[in-house]
Structure 1
Amino acid sequence: MGYTKSKDVGVEISLFDAEGNKIISRNLYGEGPNEHVSPLSGLAFTEDGNIWGKTPVEILLYDRKLNLVKKTRFSPLTTSTIYFPKKLTTLKNSVGENIIITTISDTFSFSFARDFESLGLIDGVNFKSGKSTRLIPALKIPIFSKMDISMKTMLSAIYTPSPDGKLLYVTTSFNDQITVFDSRTLEKKNHVTIDHESFDALESSKLYLSNLPQFKGRILSARNFALHAWDNGYIALEYLQDISLGIFEKRFAERKSYDTSLDPDYHRLILFKDGKQVSDDIPIPYGEIQMALPDNRLLIRLINPDEEEDFLRFGIFELK
């Protein structure tokens, strides 16, 4: 399942078979009975193969033919702008009801926060009741004890469920730990310490936005970027390394839109197994990680640094 973006019809929900052939593709943005009234911000398969969809104000359930089964409207506890839909994460609560996480992973969405004491790091919606709820208070994450409120504009929640759905791995954009929660009770089970090779900001006793290296309002500090998990117990943190002012100035002069998040040279992976870090920084080959695949594999969008191509290429890589 994925998205097809067309200049004529906008963003479509698309289903493909194992060979990559398109089975069905439809734009369901509109005010009709089968449509969603706001742009999509997330999609995921349900356990029985149907389709979850999310907009800023609706949770939708479609069948495999993209017919609407049920729609639940909700009042978001926080808001964030998603310019292109991302993968949606769902959980089961302690009584087996579907909880759709509405905080999109790795999206800066806490600029409204007045303090961290009342901040819910991850929010969700109960699909049955339509009730929004805070799933994980920020103060359950140790890094907030040394984070100044000025960091809220650089703050994002980063999470991924385990493939069996029993655990939820959570970190933040500035963090030296991964916290592991039971996905049903959301009780903390343990944490994993991260040893980054290049993340100078975390060595400070207090994290202030004004202390981070910057260039024309752009932050040059490292930050955590994504979490990936496999069914054999391995998890991986993807993060962006620090970049020096001199190198950033040079690359910014070459391209005004330059950012380390778009530069594969500054993305690194760190592997963990059984609660311990088992690798140093691992360079990511050739491009951008899209998702984890079974058997320690990663789907990577391939980027040719020497040529701007008018098509997208993807490759599958295995971690050994």
Structure 2
Amino acid sequence: MTVHKTRMLIIGSGPAGLSAAIYGARAMMEPIVVQGLQPGGQLTITTDVENYPGFKDVIQGPWLMQEMQAQAEHVGTRMMWDTIVDIDLSNGSPFRATGDSGDIYEGETLVIATGAQARWLGVPGEQELGGKGVSACATCDGFFYRGKKVAVIGGGNTAVEEALYLTNHSDDVTLIHRRDELRSERILQERLFKNPKIKVLWNKVVESFEGDPLAGGLTHLSLKDTVTGETSDFAADGAFVAIGHAPSTELFKGKLELDAGGYIVVEPGTPKTAIPGVFACGDVMDHTYRQAVTAAGTGCMAALDAERFLATLEFAKGETQAAE
């Protein structure tokens, strides 16, 4: 067992965690990033990225995360190939985390950037056609389906918002829902039903996504009627699974305040949690925007606030020593 000590411990290595690392390293906090089960975060399973500032041409998600990690390492971040399995926040700073390797990580400040995962249907073709017609983010990928026929699967706020957003790019949007009524807020339903570009297929579940991942991608969805059991094919160029996201907060249950959706609660407008010195950034605390650029922004905020927290601690310590 090895004990790794740092002024800033970061759990998670997506855009939020690596942005925090870059700012933290430049502030001489010698951050440690524990990369977790999915180094690089959700962008590592995304192909074309066209909405991250600074690139006029389409870039690849994995490449972007490799560059971000290289930048973090270049300015002094230590990257650890480990997964945190336990954490102790009860005694305040320094915070102590245990890795799957058995190593211990101690941070005077803690930045939580464990992210969230889109909930998937788990049906045939979904994984194979991911990024080739099947997506879980209309804001990220809707632009690629300009003038094409698209489907959204779901019936809650996320699904309705995705369908409405897609009308900016497509005149043929179909919402597919397994029940005969939506679960979304009434005001969103009203907007949906009034939009002439959107149709709704009721009482339908997706049995599979069909197409060739190597040639053209998605061609159609195989559907089943939940009332009659009848099966049918639905032709589509793109399909967006919108059944919600699951924040990676299992580790923090009972240790930090979580909202009804499982997201870490922070002070509005900041990455500050209820425990001084503990900060949350990116999709683990953001259930509204969920974009790489907003995650990176909150990562920057977490690092700046961590630096201020340490400065306050050092000032208070100095005042106490002077008084003695």
The alignment's TM-score, normalised by the length of structure 2, stands at 0.23
Higher helix share: 2
Q: Bigger radius of gyration, 1 or 2? A: 2
Higher relative contact order, chain-length normalized (CA < 8 Å, sep 6+): 2
